[in-house]
Amino acid sequence: MNTETKRKRKASARPWLLVLALLVVGIAYSAVAPSQSSADTEMTQQIAEGKALFDVSCSSCHGLNGEGQSAGPSLVGVGAASVDFQMGTGRMPATRGEAQIPTRQNVYTQEQIDAIAAYVATFGPGPAIPEQSQYDPEGLTEEEIARGGALFRANCSACHGIIGGGGAMPEGKRAPSLADTEAVHIWEAVRSGPQQMPMFSKEVLQDDDVREIIGYINNANEQPRYGGLGLGDHGPVTEGLWIFILGIGGLAIIAGWIAKKGARAR
């Protein structure tokens, strides 16, 4: 082959290279761009759906733009996590003003809650609904769960009791039992601080800390009940009751025996 034919071949390859380059760019673009724009429309659709639901079910108390009014606080900056918690535990939509809004059976689908949460998140930045990896206690070691117990006693038990059984608060309010609370709602309560509960930021409790606390709460509620008779696990009171029954019962039998003997002796 002489240099002349080599140069010719190179020249004839050039248009093909251009076509190839265009193809690559085209494929790359189609892989990225349309998926992004369809995600965008999905997003705005979800927010529009959330706004429609919010206007009907929530705005009467929280205001048309979540700015708050006398019947409900401002939702600016509370974040999607707070909405998911409040609706997931059936607190919201509240039916009327009460000292402590009770939990009820949630009647909304998760899609509807997600939509309202996405809409509320547009009012101002706040904690998002967590990924499962952020709250799922699966796979924690015993050591980590024990650490969760220490964190729980330091941060939560003053209100919720040593193993999360709940406790009374001032003004007739309660810190509820955590025995049946879902892991995701525990995470969201910690991050949003409902009512008188303080809000714990990531600086105070990292996600791993919260996971360990969740692991501890779950573990504490799975503990078997010890003792054959159970005695209700109430300690001295029931134990005293058994001593009373056995003790007085025993005395009654002895008294009866003495009385019989006395009768025979006469």
Residues making contact with ligand HEC (CB under 6 A): 57-58, 60-62, 71-73, 75, 78, 82-83, 86-87, 89, 92-94, 96-97, 100-101, 103, 116, 155-156, 158-160, 169, 173, 175-176, 178, 181, 185-186, 189-190, 192, 194-198, 200, 213
Contacts of 200 (CB under 8 A, 6+ apart): 155, 190, 191, 193, 210
Minimum CB distance to ligand HEC smaller for 86 or for 240:
86
Nearer CB in complex with ligand HEC: 112/256: 112
Instruction: For residues 262 and 266, give the distance between their C-alpha atoms in angstroms, rounded to a whole number.
Output: 6
Q: What is the rounded distance in angstroms from the CA atom of residue 164 to the CA atom of residue 59? A: 34
CB closer to ligand HEC, 18 vs 179: 179
CB of 43 to ligand HEC, least distance (A): 19
Nearer to ligand HEC, 15 or 170 (CB): 170
Shortest distance (Å) from residue 137 CB to ligand HEC: 12
40, 201, 86, 122 alpha-carbon torsion, rounded to 10°: -30
Q: How far apart are CB 133 and ligand HEC at their closest, in Å?
A: 18
- The residue type found at 61 is C
258 CB-side CA count, 13 A: 6
Q: Are 80 and 117 in contact (CB under 8 A)?
A: yes
Residue 249 CB, shortest distance to ligand HEC, in Å, is 43
